[in-house]
A and B are shown apart, each in its own frame.
Chain A
Amino acid sequence: MNFQNNQIDINDLPTIEEIVFEKLHPNYKKISVYITGIVFTILLSVYFAIGLFVEEILLFPIVLMVMIGWSIVTGLSIILSIKGYEYQGYALREKDVLYKNGIFFKSTVIVPFNRIQHCEIEQGPIDRQFDLAELSLFTAGGSSSDVSIPGLTLDKANALKNFITNRTAKDEEE
């Protein structure tokens, strides 16, 4: 009989503290800046569109204040999305995948391969311009343990997906 039940010392377990995270593709920084820019441009145009009907909000002092406020918020958001890139990263281990993000409020998600239900690759219109893609991993634990790794080249996303699917299948066989 090939039964083993060695005692495990918690301090000897592989630890997540020593993991070196891999950065997302540098082009992803540009994408986040573009997306932030587009969102804020839409917001501004909504404001002007409403102004067509409600002329009071386009009067001189108000419009100036809105423009100044808008520029500050947009500028900050763009800086944050550039900065945020530094804090995003993923790591693959033999048996699980990790993803971290957040500048101020940091979050790290760990999902074991043998708990992944299925994987998906998504590519938005802007992603396509840069040949990047987002890999989403779904678990049964609901949305908070689902992982989405953005900013991967399409090739890499496919390779990761195959790697993870193989791992998941292997686990099921055993």
Chain B
Amino acid sequence: MKKNKFDFSIPNRQSYVAILLILFKTITVVVRQILPILFVILIGGSSKKGDYIIWSVIVIAFLSMIYSIVNFFRTYFFIQDDELILHSGIFQRKRTSIPFSKIQTINFEQNIIHQLFSVLKLKIDTAGSDKNEFEFHAIESEKAHALRTLILREKSTMEIANQSDKNKTITESNPTTYKKIMSLSLTDLLKVGFTENHIKSGGLIFLFVLWIYQNLQEVGVDVDEYSEQLPIWEPGLYLLLFLGFILIIISIGISLVRTVINNYDLQFLRSQYGFKVISGLFTKKEVSASDHKIQHISWSDNLLKRLVGFKDLRLNQASSAELKAKQNINIPGCNEAHIKGVVATLFGETDFSLFPMQGIDRRYFTRFAIIFGLLTLTSIILTIYFYSGLNAFFIFLIGFYLIFSRYISFKKKTYGYDDSLIYIKGGIFGDRAEILPMYKVQGINIHESPYQTRNQLCSITLNTASGNIRIPYISRNDGSKLADLLIYKVEIDKRKWM
């Protein structure tokens, strides 16, 4: 066995590659901070203030680099009595210990430098909302795998010892065999990229431009003055169309690049107790989720994705609030069969077409339409009076869009449940579906606005450890019936939910 190769009972240091990584990190931080200033100097802005900032950035970065390197030599980890122990700190020595039972997941990450030297970044997530999260910048690949295997094995033996002996079979099987559920080929990857939500990428461009603008202003370039010096163009229709076209091209380009960087060589794997996703171009990321930690799952598509039959699958894990974003597993480019497989693995064979689906109350739409219709109408009248018809037309478009999308979302929103699962469908231009096992509910919130009270309606929010699920505008009778059933299901269920 490999495990004898490494002795974790004596203090271990991280790989020396960590020093290289610290250097690399320092350089990137410096470059990122200085870049806009250099840009300014290049185009001939005032450089005095820029110089000052550059030097302070370099000094601070250098000091923090020294600190990190000294800290590296003072950091050790080892295993003692089913606990992972970490010693660190320069002036004030810190001793952190995590019992194996508290460890939730151990994830690996590899960027280009890691790959070159075959080391891994190791992240250990622990239960509870306290920020007790471990991160090792670089550990030799084999050592890291050995450490994970060791901890997970000890952990599962401990859990089995705690449970009754009915689950004894688990110990015999090897926990590290993986079965591939799906992987993204290069063509699939491009398809995923092309069908992303490009409006989001457009927003990113906007933020980027804003960022440059702000940085330029901070170092003392008057951007407005420059733009005033530009020749005054009549923004003709062709120019606008051209700019719009450019924006679309750039947006699609950014979506593509983002998809490739995040999802390159994506592999979605099934182990005995959970799922695992490996992906990434520069940084190879590995995220895993054990079955019992997954609280609810959802999948969605958009108009473009429907053309190629792709859906984004998301496995929502329970975790502390600070880590929420990192803990959810996103798998783009899944098809119907993959999702069916995942659902079957997690919840058993389920035929959702047999679920008695119910819509929500029509007043979800009509109430909104009346309020927003009146609002739009008043603003249109005011705009025509004070400004021009063209502005009013834009306001009409926005109002129409809001009301129209509310109508679609009303039409599409349905929910249904069987003995153990709740199934919620919705979406506006794409489709969206969520499945929540009833016993994972943490609490139920029933809201009533004054209007809903008058009309015997309510909205229900189901709180889970991985986020909230909302069912708006259902009759109060249906709502309390659903709440009664859910509470009952939670209270009789003795299964471990996290």
Contacts and interface: CB of A to CB of B under 8 A. Distances in A.
A141 B481 contact: no
A113 B494 CA distance: 12
Interface in A89-120: 95-96, 102, 104-115
A141 B468 CA distance: 8
A109, A110, A144 pick with most chain B CB within 10 angstroms: A110
Contacts of B483: 16, 110
B443 A111 contact: yes
A109 B480 contact: no
A63 to B, nearest CB: 32
A149 B465 CA distance: 21
Interface stretch (A7-15, A30-38, A123-131, A153-161): A7-15
B69 interface: no
Contact of B445 (A16, A17, A144, A171): A144
Chain B interface, DSSP helix/strand/loop, else mixed? mixed
Contact of A139 (B442, B447, B467): B442
A13 B484 contact: yes
Contacts of A17: 480
A1 interface: no
Interface residues of B, number: 31
Contact of A140 (B442, B484, B490): B442
Interface string A8-30: 10100111110000000000000
A102 B452 CA distance: 13
A102 B450 CA distance: 10
B447 A142 contact: no
Contacts of A56: none
A174 interface: yes
Contacts of B444: 109-110, 145
B442 A141 contact: yes
B389 to A, nearest CB: 38
Given A16-B480, A96-B487, A140-B465, A115 B445 contact: no
Contacts of B488: 8, 13-14
Contacts of A15: 480-481, 484
A96 B444 CA distance: 11
B445 A108 contact: yes
A144 B459 CA distance: 14
Contacts of A16: 480, 483-484, 487
Given A109-B444, A174-B494, A104 B487 contact: no
Interface residues of A, number: 32
Contacts of A106: 447-448, 453
A31 B372 CA distance: 39
Contacts, number: 94
B33 interface: no
Contacts of A114: 490-491
Interface string B425-458: 0000000000000000111111111100100000
B463 A144 contact: yes
B464 A96 contact: no
Interface string B458-474: 00010111011000000
A174 B494 CA distance: 8
A112 B450 contact: no
Nearest to B443: A145
B199 interface: no
Contact of B318 (A95, A110, A140, A145): A140
B484 A14 contact: yes
A141 B446 contact: no
A75 to B, nearest CB: 21
Contacts of A109: 443-446
Contact of B487 (A8, A110, A145, A171): A110
Contact of A95 (B445, B463, B464, B491): B491
B377 interface: no
Given A106-B453, A107-B446, A109-B445, A141 B464 contact: yes
Contacts of B441: 115, 141
Interface of B: 318, 321, 441-450, 453, 461, 463-465, 467-468, 480-481, 483-485, 487-488, 490-491, 494, 497-498
Given A13-B484, A144-B461, 9 more contacts: A8-B488, A108-B446, A110-B446, A114-B490, A139-B443, A141-B463, A141-B464, A145-B445, A174-B494
24 contacts: A10-B481, A10-B484, A14-B488, A15-B480, A16-B487, A104-B450, A106-B447, A106-B453, A107-B445, A110-B483, A111-B443, A114-B490, A114-B491, A139-B443, A139-B463, A140-B318, A140-B442, A141-B442, A141-B464, A141-B468, A142-B463, A142-B467, A144-B461, A145-B443
